[in-house]
Each structure stands twice: as C-alpha cells, then as structure tokens.
Structure 1
Amino acid sequence: MSTQHALMVALTAEATTSTGFGETTGRIQLFPLGTFVARDGRPATIKGVTAKAWRLTEEDAQALIKRWGQQKTPVVIDYEHQTHHSETNGKPAPAAGWIAGLELTPAGVFASVEWTDRARALIRAKEYRFISPVFSYDKDTGAVLELVSVALTNHPALDGMQSAQAKTDLGGHPNMDKILAMLRKLLGLPDTADEAACTAALAALPQENLLALLKSKDDALTATQTALAAAKATPPDTSQYVSMATFTAVQSESAQLRAKVAELEGAQAVAALTTEIDAALKDGRLAASAKDWALGMAKSNPENLRAFLKAVPPIPALAGQQSAANGQPGDDAGLAALTADDKYVCDQLGITAEDYLKGKPKEGN
C-alpha cells in the first residue's frame, strides 16, 4: 500500500441555525463511514491518484481521531479555505471557529465546534451554510488519514451529509453550568460531557423514553418534597436538645471549673517546692530578690525550677539572706549579708566581702 498523502478539499455539510435547547449545538459531521466521492468525481479525477473513492472504516476513523488527539495545535475552521490561499493572495485568514473534539458514531465522524461570534452570526443569517474539511488520504486506497483544516463555504463537495448546527446562545445562560450538571446526571453522562454531548444525547433519545425519564425524575422530586414537608410538620424531640441559654451556662461553668483546677494544681506545686526554695535561699543557690521568681516558677513550671535548683551551685556570699531579711541573724552573725549587687561589685573590684562591708556606708548615715 502506498503511503503517499495528498491534501484534498472534500466533504460538505449544511450548517443550520439552532433556535432551542435540545437540538445539537456546535457540532458538525466531517466524514461518513464507508466509501464516498465528491460531486465532481474526485478522487478518481485527480491525476496520480489510483483510488476511485475515499474510504473511512471504523479502524480508519479511530486512527484519524488518534492522530488528531496527538496534535497540540487545534484544527482551525476558516472561511473558504483562506488558510491555504493566504500565501498566494495575500489576504488574511481569520478563524471562524476551532475543532474542540472528534467523535466516532454509526453515522460517521463528528466534530464539536467552538464558533466565533462572527461565524455564528453568519451561519444564522444563512450567509454561510456548509462546511468543507481539508484532509490527507492514501492515493491507492483512498483511506482518510488526517484532518488538516475545515472551512465554511457555500460550495459543498458532497451531498447527503447530516446537517451541522451553530452554537446557540444557551452557552451564555447564567445557570448553564447547573443545567449541564443536571443533564449529565439525567442522561448518565460523565462529568466531562460538554454542551454538545448533552444535547446530542437528548436528540438521540426517543421521545417516549425521554418522557418516561422525565416522569421518573419528577416522581422522585415529588417524593422528596413530600418527605421534606412531613419532616417540617413533625415537631422536634425536645428531649434531644437543650436551650442556647442552658448551653451557654454550661460552657461558662466548665470554663470556671477548668480555671479552678489549674489554680489548685499551681498551689499544690508551690507548696511542694516551698521547702526546696527555702533551702536554696539559705544555702546561697537563690538570692532573696529571686524568691518571687522562684515561687512563680513553682506554679507555672515546677519541673524546670527543680532542675535549676539541682544544677545551680551554692554561693556562700548569698547564704542566709532570707534569714537576715526576716530580721533574724544569719549564718554570718558578725557581718551583714551581701546583696546580689554587692557581690557583683566585690567580684568586679577584686576585694573581699569583709573589706567591702567595712567601706560601705551604714543605713541612715
């Protein structure tokens, strides 16, 4: 089989205006399944082409869709194939729309379309009514290989295609997302189904099946509304609830109890450490000025205080400050106990406590 490709403008489908919800929107038929030829005899009339007709089997269609899915750049829909004529005539080639998806159905390959506002208006005004794909194909077998582009045109190449339709204003409905979500659930479609897929599924559903489906949903809604009304009419069981005032009072009482427990626990911690604090004041591990700090630590962090008292060495110069502060003679009865500031001055001057006290002014002098 030859692998030579040729680009060919072919298949055309009439583009009509959709005026109501439920019709297929933004959807065009690109190719039918089977074999087909253009009205002018192509591809048999093309020089160098052996195939007498184009061919699209299910396998061909699946390969075509796979190739399209591998493209990163979307396939353009232009006007009169201007994309391919722009280099020669120098005219711009604006897009009329973009191919958003391809789907294989028993009727052939269809495309979901994102029309531009201008193209949509032209289609509704019937200034453009047909589409024409550009595709590559095998010259020997006629098998369709790849979709290259699509054009809006008024000169179709093929008769008998299903009509395509421009996207309606439904996409601008303020509740469109909710409508699509309900339709997906109603029709059993996946969450990824877009507007075109939903409307296509509705169009394919026989009328009697659609009416039965709507009736079943309506019955379910009625049953739900009845159940809600019954629940609303039934008074609540007051034994299962308390008033907000009672709830607030319980919360306040609980907070007070927690605060009282914390206070008692702190008092217990202080009482348990009082003996150790007194011993530390007596042997010089704590200065008298640090007593309040130690009592606070006993309440807030007793374990850290215990660790501190075990680690800090006794300072003889501080020994007995607590007894002296209480008006009782300390261990060194002949000399007044040094304060922490006095001890710091002695250390800085390099003198003994006795020399320092001899030179220190007496209180009241």
Structure 2
Amino acid sequence: MATRTASLTVLLPAAGAEIQLLPAGVFRSADGSGRPAGVAGWKLDALTAARVIQAAAARETPLVIDYEHQTLHAEKNGQPAPAAGWFHGSGLQWREGRGLYATDVEWTARARNMIGDREYRYLSPVIDWDDKTGDILALRMAALTNNPGLDGMTAVALSALFHHPSEEENSVNEMLKKLLAALGLPEDASEETAVSAVAELKSKADKAGEAQTAKAELAALKASVATAAGATPDPAKYVPVETMQELQTQVAALTARMTEGEVADVVEGALAAGKLLPAQKEWAESLGKSNLAALKGYIATAPQVAALKGMQSQGKQHGGNADQSTDADLAVMKALGLSAEEFAKGKKE
C-alpha cells in the first residue's frame, strides 16, 4: 500500500466557526485534473473518518488553514506562509451522510474580512490517501483558495463568527442539552433524531398506560363478580342472573384482549430474537392463546434461528423424511410434555 497526498477544494461562500472539510462517500476532483488516478475516487465513511479524527486529535498543536497552500510551497519560493485560521483535531466531527467537519475554527481578522468580501470563496483540505483503495488516511491542513477542486459542500454563515448567545439563548441551549441527555442522545444529535426519540418514548408511555388501565378494569370486574357470587341473596339488593352473565362476559372479553396482546408481544419478541421462525408464527400464536405458559416455556428453551439455518429453509427441511422431527419440534414436545406420536397427531389435526 502506498500513501499519496492531495489537496482538494471545498466551496466556502462565507466564513464561520464551523466548516465542512470533506464530503461523505466516494468523490473525485471537479477541477478537470482526473484525480485521483487509479481508483474510483477518494473514499470517506464513518470508519475511515474515525481513524482520521483519532490521528488528528492526537496532535497537541492545532491544524493550520493558510492561503493558497503557501505552507507547502514556502521552502521552495521563500515567501511567508501566514495563517488564515486554526482548528483542533479534537474538534473534528463525522456527520453521517454529510461528511467531515471542523468545529470551533479560529479565523484571523484578515481572513474574516477577505472571506466576507468574497476575496476568498473556497477551502482546500490537504489529505493523505491510499492509492490502492482510495481510502482517506489523514488530514494534514487546509487552505483558502480560489481554484476549486470540489463543489456542493455546505456553506458557512458569516454571522456565526460574530454572534454571541444571549442569556436566554444560553438557558434554552442548556435545557436542550439536558433533554437530549435524558433521552440518551449526544449533544450534537440532529433534530430528526431527537424528535424520533421523543415519539418512541411517548408511544411506550401510551402502551404502558393502556396496559395499566386494562389491568385496573379487570381487577374491578373480577372483584364485582366475586362479590356478587359470594354474597347472601338479599331481595332488596338482588343481582339478576343477566347482570352476572354480563359481568362474566366482560371479564372474559377483557382477559382475552390482554392475553392476545401479551401473546403478540411474546411472539414478536421471539421472532426478533431469532427464537422463532416466521413459519412458526401462526402455530405460536395459537399455542399462546390456549396455553401462554407453555409458549413461554418453549421460547425459553428454543435454539436460535441461526442454529437451524443449515437444516431449514422457510420452515421446511432440506430433503429427508417429511415426518422426521426437527430440533424445533423436539423443543415443543419437551415444553408441552408430549410424546412423538401425540405431537405428530396434533400437527396433522
């Protein structure tokens, strides 16, 4: 593997405290040079970006942003190489689907003015890359330039350089950070991620509330039935048979509803965990409705689907006797205490 160095160019329409250094995915130079040669393009994904960030964060000194890559040319042309800005490796961030970003960029006053006046409009990062795979290996520095090599990058707002959050904004930001932390999300989580987490939390709370309400209703109905059934008949407080039957019907219906919900949760969980094959879903639901404890016992001892893949395909065995018991059948017989003959008879019925 050989390592090569390339300087690219990113559109920088205005200055800001945050800049996009490289895009995500596979990309090539747009300046007509045909770079990179020998590979489909430069590649940057979450894994390669993590290595780049780790290497940059290990540096004690910040990375420089100069003008026209003069830092690379100073030894040959003897000209000064003043900095336009600085950024720290620890401030690099990977953003899925967007690319590699530098945050907390420290621009010089001269660079801010030149970018604001559109005297410079592009950013050109300098990278090391693998000439066999195109993987980006390291970020060395960056430069302001007007000779673009890449386009379509995220613009940076000039106002971000001079904006100082008010006390009210700081208070709101702190509150948002606490909310994100309570949701188990990082401070830089996207709005879409945060909203999705809140929706999921609300859904869980709603389901928990519905289950609690159903349990309370069931307990109340059972208590009513027990009271009516055990009380000494009193002509003044006589409970008609029709009323008793209605209460019993309600209890049965509510119990069935709760059992169906629990069976569905158990079956879906077992499918997701690989404890049931999709072809077993209907059988498992039927078993759960008649004997939920037996279903739970079977799932607890059932092998993972991965262990059955070599023997089964869409719930059927590869060749052999169709009546021969599978590992899943044996686990069911064990959970239900059935003999092979009883189990085979039940399957046929």
- Give the number of the structure whose alpha-carbon radius of gyration is greater: 1
TM bracket, shorter-chain basis: 0.3 to 0.5
When the two structures are superposed, what TM-score results if normalisation uses the length of structure 2? 0.48
